[in-house]
Amino acid sequence: MMVNFKPNLVKKKKYITIPADKQSLSHPSHAGEDFPCPSCSIWITEEELKQNHYICTHCSFHFSCNAWYRIGSIADEGSFREINPCLSTINLLDFPEYDLKLQTAHKKTGLAEAIITGWANVNGIPVGLGVMDAQFMMGSMGSVVGEKICRLVEEVMEQRAPLIIFCASGGARMQEGIISLMQMAKTSAAIGRLHEAGLLYISVLTHPTTGGVSASFASLGDIIIAEPGALIGFTGPRVVEQALGKKLPENFQRAEFHINHGMVDMVVVRSDLKSVLHRILLMHQGGTNAQKEI
């Protein structure tokens, strides 16, 4: 007998959401006004921040920056070519309010999904580039984010070029249930094939890199770079503290904590990132046969 199964999600309890005023590391949207830095409390202007890679000029606090700004700061001018720009998700599970959330995220960011993928030159060296945007549903990984990463990996393998992914994510996208969790295995398998092909993969962990993204492709880089102050971990520090029943160190799960515990290879200030990436790419260039022109 055929059973028409439809998950009953309508009565599901509302999940906890983080109020805007608690998202202290978000990119400010004060449109030209002065505002206090959440770290040192010294007043700063948006223009000042923009001129300084969205790093506080007083205390070096790294504000979040959106994906297009990030691409502009890493790719040589005019070199970025986006691939699969129109892939967007559908509400497969008929999850309440998911369509509305997607629309809101799209309107807020101008993005179709939480990652932009494509090709760019970094000081003349062609690379496959993926950049996540935490402002699109907290950079959560659903079916499209996973698919775009896998398609990028396939192109990178075809061209035998290096791959760089900037991670920024709250984890798997709960509105896609098991399908979003499946992306962890799917992206990990794709990166596994990249490793077998002997190609370079640099993972750059920005604030925050957590949940299913931290437990999959974000942690599989041949070289893992983190930005100062970035929160990196599977479960948040408050939950870990409650589970262990003891106080955690103040910088627990921050980039500086991880470098001291061997979880990342470097902590690099945003303004130095392009030159550091370029040096790493140069060191590994001998093994690749990347295309000269994109």
Q: Calculate ∠ Cα 212-5-13, nearest 5°.
A: 55
Helix (H) or strand (E) holding 195: helix 177-196
Among 56, 134, 149, 165, binds Zn ion (CB under 5 A): 56
CB of 41 to Zn ion, least distance (A): 7
- The two three-digit tokens of residue 137, written as one number: 């549903």
Among 37, 65, 167, 199, binds Zn ion (CB under 5 A): 37
- The residue (of 186 and 270) whose beta carbon lies closer to Zn ion is 270
Is 59 a binder of Zn ion (CB under 5 A)?
yes
Is 40 a binder of Zn ion (CB under 5 A)?
yes
Among 23, 26, 39, 123, binds Zn ion (CB under 5 A): 39
Among 23, 27, 48, 58, binds Zn ion (CB under 5 A): 58
Show contacts of 51-54: CB within 8 Å, 24+ apart.
52/271, 53/270, 53/271, 54/27, 54/270
CB of 19 to Zn ion, least distance (A): 22
7 burial (CB, 10 Å; 0-12 / 13-18 / 19+) is: exposed
Where do the DSSP E strands lie in the chain? 34-36, 43-45, 81-83, 115-122, 125-132, 163-169, 201-210, 223-226, 232-233, 266-267
| Binding segment toward Zn ion, per CB under 5 A, in 2-10, 38-46, 83-91, 260-268 | 38-46
How many positions of this chain bind Zn ion (CB under 5 A)? 7
- The residue (of 55 and 67) whose beta carbon lies closer to Zn ion is 55
Residues in contact with Zn ion by CB under 5 A are 37, 39-40, 56, 58-59, 61
